[in-house]
Chain A
C-alpha cells in the first residue's frame, strides 16, 4: 500500500479494520452484570456463615454455662481439685480434668513433634522425588484413620503389648501414657505434612546459596531451611496441639474414666473431653446443675483452644519470612 494517510477514512480502507464511528456515538454498551452480584452475595454468605456458626456455638454454650456459674463460683471451678458433680456432696473443681488433658496433650506433642519434624525434614530435604511422591500421601492417609480405631489400637495393642510387655511398665489397661502416645501417633501426619509444605516452600536458591558456602545437607536443613520455614512449622505444631486438646475418642477409650488429679502419666484419668462425652451420654435432666456442668467444661475447652490459637497467630506473625 502506497498511501501514508493516517486519517480515519484512510484506515477504514484497510480490510478487517473498524470504520471510525461518527462523532458523538456511544460505542461502549452500558449495563451491569447481575450474575456477578449474585455470585458475590453467595460467596459472602459462605464466608460469614462459618463466623455465624462459631458465634452461635459460643452463645449456646454461654447460656447454660452462665446458669452454672450462678451456682458455682468461677474461682471454685477453676481452682478446685475435686470433680464430683454426680455425688451427693457435689464438688465442681475442674482441675482433675484439666490435668488429665494437659498430660495427654503434652505426651502427644512429645511424640508427634520429633517424629513429625523428622519425617518432614526427610521428605523435604533428603527423599528422592519418587519416594516423596509415594510416602507423603501414605502419611496423610494416617490422618484419615478414624480416631475410634486409634482408641482401640491403644487399648488392645499399645497398652498391653508395648507398655506392659515390652517396656514392663506398671500400667493398667487404661492410662494417660497410652492414650497420649497413641494420640501423638495420630497427630504425626498433621505436623509432618504441614511442616513439609512449609519447608518445601523455602526457595531452592537458599539451599544452593548454603551449599555454595560449603555447608552440608544437614546444616542447610537445620540452619537455613528450618528457620526459614519456622512460622509454618509453628502453625503445624499448634494445629497438632489443638487437635490433641480437643481429641475425644482416644482418651475416652484408652485414658480411663477415673476422675483424679493426674500427677504421673502411668495413672489413668478422665480428660475434659472424656467427661463431656460420658456426661452427654448420661441421663442428666436438662437445666439441672449437672447438665450445666457440661457447658461450663465445654466453654473452658473452647477458651483453651482459643488461647492456643491466639498465641500461634502471634508466633506465626513474628517469624513469618518473605523470601
Chain B
C-alpha cells in the first residue's frame, strides 16, 4: 500500500536532488544584487564606506566581522530597510538584476517583497501560526488559489510543517525560539521572494536550534539567494559559499570609526588563504 506523496515529500525530494547535483562555487558570482561603492550615513556620520561586492544567484553569502563594522548596516540597505530609520542615507548604487533599487520612483515596498528579511530575534506576529504565514501573501495582494496549500508549502520548506501541522490555529508565541525563527523564515518564503536576508538569525538560539537553521539554509540555497550576517565564524565557514569580511577602521583625520569591507572571496579562500592580514588575524581569533 502506498500513500499519496505529500507536499513535504515532493520538496524534500527536490532539495535532495538539487543538493546532489550542486556544482562547485564558481570563481565569479552571477550577481543578483550588485553593491557598488556604497556608503551608508546616519545623518552626518558615515557608518560604512565604499563597499563593493556582488551577491551571487542561489548562493549563500556571509557578512562577517567585529561589532560596529557595518555588516548589518549593509545588509539592511539591501532591501531598503534603512529607509525606516530616520536620517539614514545610502550613496553609491545597489543594483537588483541590474536596476538601481534606490533610483527615484522605485517603490521600497516592492523591493522588500522580492528581497525578504529574517531578523536577529524571532519576531512572529501575535497571531496564529497560520495567519503569520498568510499575512505576507494577503497584504501584498499575491494571487493564491489555495491558501491552505500555500501555508503548508511555506512551512514545509522551512522544515516546520511536521511540528506545527496540528496546531496551525494556535498562537505563534507557543513555539520555541528556534521554531519561531523557522516560522519567520517560512513567513518570508510565503511571499515568494528572490533573496532572503538574514541578520544574525541564530544569535538568540541554542546550538541545536542553530544547527537546524543552518541545515535549512543549506536546503534553501537551491531555491533562494541568501545573505547572512553572522558573528559566528564557524557558521560562516559551514554554510556560506562566499564570505565578506568587514572591519571598523578609525579615520586618522577625524578620529571617527567607519566600517569597511576588507576582503570578499569564496569562503574556502577566506578561511584557508586570506589575502589580507587583518582577515587572517580575525579568523584565527587574534582580534574581534
Contact = CB atoms under 8 A, between A and B. Distances in A.
A211 B113 CA distance: 9
Interface in A226-247: 227-228
B185 to A, nearest CB: 12
B271 interface: no
Nearest to B140: A214
B187 interface: yes
A322 B174 CA distance: 11
Interface residues of A, number: 23
B257 to A, nearest CB: 25
B119 interface: yes
Nearest to B125: A224
A188 B121 CA distance: 36
B173 interface: yes
Interface string B85-122: 01000000000000000000000011011001101010
B125 A206 contact: yes
Q: Which of A209, A216, A219, A228 has the most CB of B within 10 A?
A: A209
A203 B109 contact: no
Interface in B121-180: 121, 123-127, 135-136, 139-140, 173
Contacts of A224: 125, 135
Given A224-B125, A228-B125, A322-B173, A213 B112 contact: yes
Contact of B119 (A129, A208, A219): A208
Contacts of B126: 206, 227-228, 321, 323
Contacts of A323: 126
Given A214-B136, A215-B139, A209 B123 contact: yes
A212 interface: yes
Given A206-B123, A321-B126, A212 B116 contact: yes
Given A224-B125, A228-B125, A211 B139 contact: no
A317 interface: no
B184 interface: yes
A205 interface: yes
A242 B52 CA distance: 61
Nearest to A207: B84
A205 B127 contact: no
**Interface range for B:** 20 to 34
A321 B123 CA distance: 13
Given A208-B81, A209-B119, A228-B126, A215 B140 contact: yes
Interface string A185-216: 00000000000000000010111111111111
Nearest to A321: B126
B113 A214 contact: yes
A214 B109 contact: yes
A223 interface: yes
A219 B139 contact: yes
Contacts of A208: 81, 84, 117, 119, 123
A129 B85 CA distance: 12
B191 interface: yes
Given A206-B125, A322-B173, A211 B119 contact: no
8 contacts: A205-B119, A209-B184, A209-B187, A210-B125, A211-B109, A211-B112, A213-B116, A213-B136
**Top 5 A-B pairs ranked by shortest CB distance?**
A214-B113, A212-B117, A213-B136, A205-B123, A215-B139
Given A209-B123, A210-B125, A212-B117, 20 more contacts: A129-B86, A207-B84, A208-B123, A209-B119, A209-B124, A209-B187, A211-B84, A211-B112, A212-B79, A213-B139, A213-B140, A213-B191, A214-B110, A214-B139, A215-B135, A215-B136, A216-B109, A219-B139, A223-B135, A228-B126
